[in-house]
Amino acid sequence: MCGLVTENEIYLNRINEVKLNTLKHYVEKSGVGFGTSGARGLVTALTEEICVAYTSAFLKIVAKLFDFERVAIGVDLRPSSIDIAGSCAKAIQNMGYQVDFCGDVSTPTLALYAQQKSMPAIMVTGSHIPFDRNGLKFYRPDGEITKADELAMLAAEIEPLNDIDYLGLPSVNPDAVLAYEQRYLEFFPKDVLQGLNLGLYEHSSVARDSLKRILERLGAQVTSLGRTDIFVPIDTEAVSAEDVVRGQNWSRQYGFDSIISTDGDGDRPLMSDEFGNWLRGDIVGLLTARYLGAKNLAVPVSCNTAIELSGAFDQVVRTRIGSPYVIAAMQKLENETNDIAGFEANGGFLLGSKLIMNHRAISALPTRDCVLPILAVLAASRQSENKISYLVRDIPQRYTASDRIQEFSTETSRLFIGKWAKNPALFMAEVLDDYGLPVNQDETDGLRFTFANGLVIHLRPSGNAPELRCYCESSTAQEVESVTQIVLLKIKELQ
């Protein structure tokens, strides 16, 4: 799982020259750039030219380290995804490789398949961002690309399209879905969810059908909810007010033990307790890691401090936000220990090493996954009278909330964060004047203030969209929700 380069300066020097035939040139011309995980941009900017450029750069750097003949492609259910996949397929064929089209699949489904078949893969998805945007995620035969790989791609010279007889996307290969479902059906006992009454909020998640089959085959009774053919951008870190009410109403109506959902590409889980209250993603991650017996964790700086306070783990490494940083931290842990996992505040769970539980093994999958945390938390609830709320009450009570200001440019976010980092007193005067000066300041990723009463406020620009995100943590649920909204409202007024 090592990166492509060890001396990033070589690539930085090369891409700074901005040659007309490098990927960096196409990125600057289109505005489609790398975010926290993969490339993202407006659908109108994801032209055939930019898709061919990204695909060409990716395959060039992968071909330096791996031998392969096929490249897997998967898509989410966004209306633009199939056309983007077609452009990627044209570039793949142009470079002499075959296309293995896996169709509508979740991102972890495609990642697992590529890993098992030792081939690269491209997932066409914008994850949770609005449907007028989309993106590309890239997987080497040994896992998700790293930040070093991104630098190498930006410096790569693009292969021009030849006059080829473009074959189009081939028929869908179902093997990826079958392998992904089998992964969990073999690891968990066949009746592990017996007796659970679950709601599945399907919306436009590409994982909805596969997830339902897995839940039912493991014994759960599943009721489908909210299925739509119109794309819905569900953000597991900023659940809408409508979905908060919807979850509670569904729980009262059906008496569910939990309501299950995912984001658009199925790499982030969304789960409720038996009352229809949505769990924070990092709490889902904590419960999952504890149930699986993972002892060494890599998590972003934005995750709940209940992780350390729980005392359940031997080692917790904090990283910048984004799966590549979590993966890099897991790679370092891999050299020292086993039982490695990672997760993010959005709930995506990454398995950094093989785990064995009840004499059953599950292989590493170092990319965000929604199914493993969903099944682990549900299985753990069976040991607590089917009550997920009991599991939550059994961990240190630190409450978190997050939200964002949409259509807030990255430049503006950095301007505000930069001035407040230099002058915390100015932040207090302009935004939050009732708490005194912060007692700790962390600039690992954005700006994170900790106050004397334990309140945490963390601001950072989104890596995937023009948004300013605010994460708060406190000892009371009321304070954390209130402060989050106050901070964002004040910042809006300052624009």
pLDDT score recorded for residue 433: 81
3-state secondary structure (DSSP) of residue 174 = coil
CA distance 366 to 1: 9
Domain assignment present for residue 3? The answer is no
CA distance 382 to 386: 5
Sign (positive or negative) of CA dihedral 225, 226, 232, 233: negative
Q: What residues have CB less than 8 Å from 422, skipping those under 6 apart?
A: none
**Lowest-confidence pick of 92-96, 333-337, 464-468:** 333-337
Are 265 and 160 found together in one domain?
Answer: no
Question: For 82-108, how does the pLDDT look when each residue is reduced to its tens digit (9 = 90+)?
Answer: 999 999 999 999 999 999 999 999 999
417 pLDDT exceeds 60?
yes
- Residue type for position 494: L
Question: For 379-400, how does the pLDDT look when each residue is reduced to its tens digit (9 = 90+)?
Answer: 999 988 889 999 999 999 998 8
Q: Percent of the chain scored above 90 by pLDDT? A: 79
pLDDT score recorded for residue 168: 84
5 pLDDT exceeds 80?
no
Residue 472 · residue 483 · CB < 8 Å: yes
pLDDT score recorded for residue 13: 54
Question: For 201-224, how does the pLDDT look when each residue is reduced to its tens digit (9 = 90+)?
Answer: 999 999 999 999 999 999 999 999
Task: Give, as one character, the DSSP assignment of residue 277.
Answer: P
47 pLDDT exceeds 70?
yes
Q: What residues have CB less than 8 Å from 335, skipping those under 6 apart?
A: none
Task: Give, as one character, the DSSP assignment of residue 129.
Answer: S
Structure tokens at 349: 């769970």
Q: What are phi and psi of 68, to 5 degrees?
A: -155, 155
Domain assignment present for residue 153? The answer is yes
pLDDT score recorded for residue 260: 97
Q: What residues have CB less than 8 Å from 444, skipping those under 6 apart?
A: 301, 318, 319, 320
pLDDT grade for 35, boundaries at 50, 70 and 90: confident
From 341, 373, 393, the end of a domain falls on 393
Question: For 113-153, how does the pLDDT look when each residue is reduced to its tens digit (9 = 90+)?
Answer: 999 999 999 999 988 888 899 999 999 999 999 889 999 99
From 372, 393, 414, the end of a domain falls on 393
- CATH of residue 265: 3.40.120.10
Count of structural domains, the chain: 3
CA distance 338 to 405: 39
pLDDT grade for 79, boundaries at 50, 70 and 90: very high
pLDDT grade for 234, boundaries at 50, 70 and 90: confident
**Within 10 Å of residue 13's Cβ, how many Cβ atoms?**
10
457: domain range?
399-494
pLDDT score recorded for residue 9: 52
- C-alpha distances in angstroms, 227 versus 154, 205, 270, 278, 303? 39, 9, 15, 18, 30
Are 44 and 107 found together in one domain?
Answer: yes
CA distance 133 to 466: 11
pLDDT grade for 1, boundaries at 50, 70 and 90: very low
pLDDT score recorded for residue 16: 52
Residue 279 · residue 298 · CB < 8 Å: no
Terminal-to-terminal C-alpha distance of the chain:
43
CA distance 144 to 166: 28
Are 155 and 207 found together in one domain?
Answer: no
Q: Which of 152, 140, 136, 17 is CA-nearest to residue 74? A: 136
Catalytic positions: 127
Are 157 and 206 found together in one domain?
Answer: no
Q: Which of 8, 336, 52 is CA-nearest to residue 155? A: 8
Are 264 and 350 found together in one domain?
Answer: yes
Are 415 and 302 found together in one domain?
Answer: no
Structure tokens at 315: 């080692």
Are 356 and 229 found together in one domain?
Answer: yes
Residue 120 · residue 110 · CB < 8 Å: no
- CATH of residue 424: 3.30.310.50
Q: Which of 104, 101, 100, 90 is CA-nearest to residue 68? A: 100
Pick the more confident residue, 187 or 334.
187
3-state SS of 92-126 is HHHCCCEEEEEEECCHHHHHHHHHHHCCCEEEECC
Q: For 292-320, what is the mean pLDDT?
A: 94
CA distance 311 to 288: 15
Question: For 148-176, how does the pLDDT look when each residue is reduced to its tens digit (9 = 90+)?
Answer: 999 999 999 997 887 767 778 999 999 99
Q: What is the mean pLDDT of the chain?
A: 92
Q: Which of 395, 396, 299, 324 is CA-nearest to residue 151? A: 324
From 173, 190, 212, the end of a domain falls on 173
Residue 447 is inside which H or E element, if any?
Answer: strand 447-450
Domain assignment present for residue 1? The answer is no
Q: Which of 70, 40, 62 is CA-nearest to residue 143? A: 62
Are 159 and 236 found together in one domain?
Answer: no
CA distance 443 to 237: 21
Are 315 and 405 found together in one domain?
Answer: no
pLDDT score recorded for residue 7: 47
How remote is the C-alpha of 153 from its chain's centroid? 21
CA distance 213 to 24: 42
CA distance 122 to 103: 12
pLDDT score recorded for residue 295: 94
Give 32's Cβ-side CA count (13 Å radius).
Answer: 26
Domain assignment present for residue 2? The answer is no
Pick the more confident residue, 2 or 192.
192
Are 341 and 434 found together in one domain?
Answer: no
pLDDT score recorded for residue 3: 45
Q: How large is the angle between the packed helices 208-217 and 371-382, nearest 10 degrees?
A: 30
pLDDT score recorded for residue 2: 44
Domain assignment present for residue 101? The answer is yes
Domain assignment present for residue 438? The answer is yes
